[in-house]
Structure 1
Amino acid sequence: MPRCEQVPTAVDTPVDTVVRRMRALDAALHPRDGVAVFNRVYLTVTETVDRYVDTGRFADRHAAITLDVRFAGRYLDAVAAAGDGRAPACWRPLFQFRRHPGVRPLQFALAGINAHIGHDLALAVVDTCRTLDCAPAELEDAFDTVGDLLVSLEERIREDLMPGPDLLQIADPLTHLLGSWSLERARDAAWTAARALWALRELPDIAGEFTERLDTAVGLAGRMLLTPLAQPPLRG
């Protein structure tokens, strides 16, 4: 009898669980809700990470999965805490302005990315280092790969959510907001913050103060990104 070949089957990973939670959140939220706008963006990133994991694109698969799950968990925990005021300061502007008619979808997306990259990413790196008993340098490959995905996605976000060139003029306030924030700079700052927090791990009081100040500063930037803007006039 010929030997039957076994067909490899996809193995469910913790990243798949995160994807399911984000899809459920997307289904539960109104499409124009500011959190829904960011969630759709982040879901796209997480689905891409999931494909990278399945196809062996990460040099250290376990490290990449752990980092991605710790990272996403901080966002999902913040959403769960939004109703009772326990969310980190960096997320509060998005939750406060999520239904404001004067805030454009691109602002919601960038404010969510600002909170998640500027605050959550550094803490997720430290969480992962503690889980895997390793230093941040050992996660740099996974960090860079996920960061490159985010930077490439930022270009797509701007293309999909930015008003057309006939509406977005040089004097439009959104033009100035877009020029004031950079995902690539935020990612670099997150890596520096992660290394600093790791170096301070034996000094919990100082590390706690550093984390609190980081949270506050990122929240301030998010509030500025969500400045309500007058809608551009309709062209007749």
Structure 2
Amino acid sequence: MDAVLTRMRALDDRLPPQDGVAVFNRVYLAVTEELQRRISAGEFPARRTAAALAVRFADRYLAAVEAAADGRRTPACWRPLFQYRRHPGVRPLQHALAGINAHIGHDLALAVVATCHALRVEPRSLERDFELVGETLITLEERIREELMPGPDLLQIADPLTHLLGSWSLQRARDGAWAAARLLWTLRASPELAAEFTDSLDAGVGLVGRCLLVPTPRVPG
């Protein structure tokens, strides 16, 4: 995991703090450091499996960032964040949620399948590690709420951001990722169907990302 952490830290040093990708990267870096600590401390029953899943998971995000920096086509799930990363009407909390949506809603399922292929195991062999990684990811949502939550205006029911916070769920995204991974594994003998499903998943997660990044004017106090 050292290599992916090095790449995330380099991004943190390079990107302007207010950049939407930088906002997500800072939170994800902290969570990945915590995940590495827990794996090293033996908190995962299969350390090698958990590390392999965590690395493949992070690699998908980093590959998307590098593709965007090079002007190459990125997965549809990440395009909203890259397109709105400097929009003055989009708040940091929205950037962070859009990053989580793309990473968990799309990347996590593909990372599970890639790990299964690499280790030559069935998804059920990764289920416990998947759940433990998911528990660590809960801290990502908690950090976002603690660090990026706006001021008292959020308490106003008319604030559009209040609606956004209530309409997206990390737990539902995790459940969907596991179901998608199992389906993709079942479809591994049918590459065309697997590709069609992956494209559909990518597009659907991208659509949710666009909704999360709708500019939200502040409600007057």
**1:12 alignment partner in structure 2:** none
1:30-80 Cα offsets, whole Å, 9 max, x none, are 000000000011101100111012111110011011000000000000001
**Which has the larger share of helix?**
2
Report which of the two structures shows the higher radius of gyration computed on alpha carbons. Answer: 1
1:76-120 Cα offsets, whole Å, 9 max, x none, are 000011142411000000000000000000000000000000000
For structure 1, list consecutive stretches of 5 or more residues without a partner in the other structure.
1-14
4+ residue stretches of structure 1 with deviation over 6 A? none
Distance 2:153 2:53 in 1: 41
Which residue among 219, 226, 229 is the counterpart of 2:206?
Answer: 219
C-alpha contact (below 8 Å) 1:102/1:231 kept by paired residues: no
For structure 2, list consecutive stretches of 5 or more residues without a partner in the other structure.
none
Distance 1:210 1:167 in 2: 37
**1:181 alignment partner in structure 2:** 168
> Equivalences for 1:1-236 in 2 at 5 Å?
15-83=1-69, 84-233=71-220
Given residue 55 of structure 2, which amino acid in structure 1 is its aligned partner? V
C-alpha contact (below 8 Å) 2:76/2:203 kept by paired residues: yes
Q: 1:232: Cα distance to partner?
A: 4.2
User: TM-score, normalising length from structure 1?
Assistant: 0.91
RMSD across aligned C-alpha pairs, in angstroms? 1.1
Match of 1:201, SS state, is helix
Q: How many residues align?
A: 220
Distance 2:153 2:168 in 1: 23
State percent identity of aligned pairs. 67
Distance 1:186 1:27 in 2: 29
Q: 1:174 to 1:196 in 2, by over 3 A?
A: same
Distance 1:164 1:177 in 2: 16
Match of 2:208, SS state, is helix
